[in-house]
Amino acid sequence: MPRTITAFSNPLVKRIQSLRDKRHRREEGLFLAEGLRILTEARETGRVPRYLFFAAPSARHPLVSALVDAVEGSGGEAIETSEAILSKLSGKDNPQAVVGAFDTFDSRLEDLDRTTSPIWLVAERLRDPGNLGTILRTGDAVGAGGLVLIGDSVDPFSTEAVRASMGALFTVPLVRASWDQFLPWLRSGPGQLVGLSLRTDNHYRHADYQTPTFLLTGNEAQGLPAEIEAECDLLVKMPMLGKADSLNAAVATAVMAYEVLAHAQNRG
């Protein structure tokens, strides 16, 4: 049976609010996700929050009831609270109906089955949480096998990244690895490494993509380092017909992902 918390000074409220800070997420092994849609998608993938906060007016909503049952059935705790406390937890003036604190999770490279999809996404030193969330959404949209984050990338469990992913954090396998870990794993099996670069004449529409394709996007400001480009099987670029010299990293990844998907479907 859910308990009720209405005091801002409650220790659990303070603890959950602290998860908006990376250090506390790391110490607690928990992260925040908000919104009925995102939490429902998480539940459908088998992940339920350890703590679920929901606003009293939404208590009778069938999806909220399903979340409460799932959380309590898994040994977690459901808490009925006020919209003001939900706003405090989420940091938004117009909070969602539910906020959950989930256990952090990661896949390992060894857990990935590269035969499950013709396209995989790889991002090197990605720094913007909005870009990360959008790339995860792209991965979900194209049926990518997973996303590998290389090097010093943004925390995928930050509130901003989780929010931007719109639930794709729970549907797209995510691995964090160093380049020295990723490259030997990649070369241990089939896989074409395709890098997005301005230092090539290969037009992205005319390239020969092999299955599975590992699509590598570089840092937003610096792109891919030369030593990583040298390890790619193929470098491609998208022509810039205006004054901009490049696309946003997440946009470029989405354009490329659908191009690679089209090639895979045409071969099939």
- Give me the CATH number covering residue 20: 3.30.1330.30
Domain stop point among 103, 121, 153: 103
- Cα(114)–Cα(135) distance, integer angstroms: 19
Residue 119 sits in the same domain as residue 30:
no
Q: What single letter denotes the amino acid at residue 5?
A: I
3-state secondary structure of 85: helix
Residue 21 sits in the same domain as residue 140:
no
Contacts of 244 (CB under 8 A, 6+ apart): none
Domain stop point among 46, 78, 103: 103
Contacts of 151 (CB under 8 A, 6+ apart): 124, 125, 178, 179
249-267 vs 129-142: helix crossing angle, rounded to 10: 10
- Cα(125)–Cα(134) distance, integer angstroms: 15
Count of structural domains within the chain: 2
Residue 98 sits in the same domain as residue 7:
yes
Half-sphere exposure of 98 (CA within 13 A, CB side): 29
Residue 219 sits in the same domain as residue 94:
no
Residue 73 sits in the same domain as residue 168:
no
- Cα(77)–Cα(116) distance, integer angstroms: 35
Residue 126 sits in the same domain as residue 50:
no
Is 176 in contact with 137 (CB distance < 8 Å)? no
Q: Which domain holds residue 37?
A: 3-103
What pLDDT sits at residue 91?
Answer: 82
Residue 42 sits in the same domain as residue 130:
no
C-alpha 45 chain-centroid distance: 14
What pLDDT sits at residue 22?
Answer: 94
62-73 vs 36-44: helix crossing angle, rounded to 10: 50
For the chain, state the CA radius of gyration.
Answer: 20
- Cα(158)–Cα(138) distance, integer angstroms: 18
Domain stop point among 103, 133, 166: 103
Q: Tell me the pLDDT of the chain (268 aa) as tens digits.
A: 788 998 989 999 999 999 999 999 999 999 999 999 999 999 999 999 999 999 888 888 999 999 999 999 999 999 999 999 999 998 877 777 899 999 999 899 999 999 999 999 999 999 999 999 999 999 999 999 999 999 999 999 999 999 999 999 999 999 999 999 999 999 999 999 999 998 999 999 999 999 999 999 999 888 999 999 999 999 999 887 777 766 789 999 999 999 999 988 887 6
Half-sphere exposure of 16 (CA within 13 A, CB side): 28
Residue 113 sits in the same domain as residue 153:
yes
